[in-house]
């Protein structure tokens, strides 16, 4: 029979605070009270008896680290570098930008027959109405690239792969 004593004494793992930050040493000041607590490491050294140090609890981390993305890195310009990338990244394929809504709806219907998640987005640019035909969004970059190849081969179009949201 084996008993793991630390498991009985310590807090459960989900309640422990894990930090990779180290606490810098406390600056020395001329006025110190002899009644202050001494850390275990300092109590063993002879110098610590002359100048006791107060042990302070570790500060809680201010922010959580960002999750690692499996998508390949993309070159950043000034506008995209300033954009907030804390949200999960997905991929969108812009198939076409048309001025005729009926043609856009026909293209979407054909893309959906090919098992592609297509939709039309209406946008006004320079006072003119355009219909963007898009496929996605897709979280998996490799799957988005396969959909892009499928569109190029089946429909003889030149779609553009882009981050979503823009």
The string of pLDDT tens digits covering residues 8-25 is: 555 555 555 555 666 677
CA dihedral 28, 32, 36, 41 (to 10 degrees): 30
- pLDDT at site 108: 96
- pLDDT at site 27: 72
Please say if the pLDDT value at position 79 is more than 90: no
Name the CATH topology of 88-164: Alpha-Beta Plaits (3.30.70)
Task: Please tell me the pTM assigned to this model.
Answer: 0.49
Please say if the pLDDT value at position 28 is more than 90: no
Per-domain boundaries in the chain: 88-164
Q: Which tens digits make up the pLDDT trace of 34-48?
A: 555 555 555 455 554
Whether the link from the prior residue into 165 is cis, omega within 30° of 0, is yes
pLDDT band at 82 (very low <50, low <70, confident <90, very high): very low
- The residue among 1 and 151 whose pLDDT is bigger is 151
- pLDDT at site 29: 67
Average pLDDT, the chain: 74
**CA nearest 137: which of 87, 99, 101?**
87
Alpha carbons 152 and 122: distance in angstroms, whole number: 23
């Amino acid at each position: 029979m084996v008993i793991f004593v630390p498991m009985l004494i310590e807090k459960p793992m989900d309640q422990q605070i894990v930090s990779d930050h180290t606490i810098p040493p406390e600056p020395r000041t001329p006025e110190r009270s002899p009644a202050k607590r001494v850390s275990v490491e300092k109590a063993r050294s002879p110098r610590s008896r002359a100048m006791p140090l107060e042990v302070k609890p570790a500060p809680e981390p201010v922010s959580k680290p960002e999750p690692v993305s499996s998508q390949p890195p993309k070159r950043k310009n000034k506008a995209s570098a300033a954009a907030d990338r804390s949200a999960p990244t997905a991929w969108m394929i812009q198939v076409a930008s048309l001025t005729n809504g009926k043609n856009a709806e026909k293209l979407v219907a054909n893309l959906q027959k090919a098992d592609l998640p297509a939709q039309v987005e209406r946008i006004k640019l320079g006072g003119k109405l355009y219909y963007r035909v898009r496929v996605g969004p897709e979280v998996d970059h490799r799957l988005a690239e396969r959909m892009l190849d499928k569109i190029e081969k089946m429909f003889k179009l030149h779609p553009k792969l882009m981050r979503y949201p823009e």
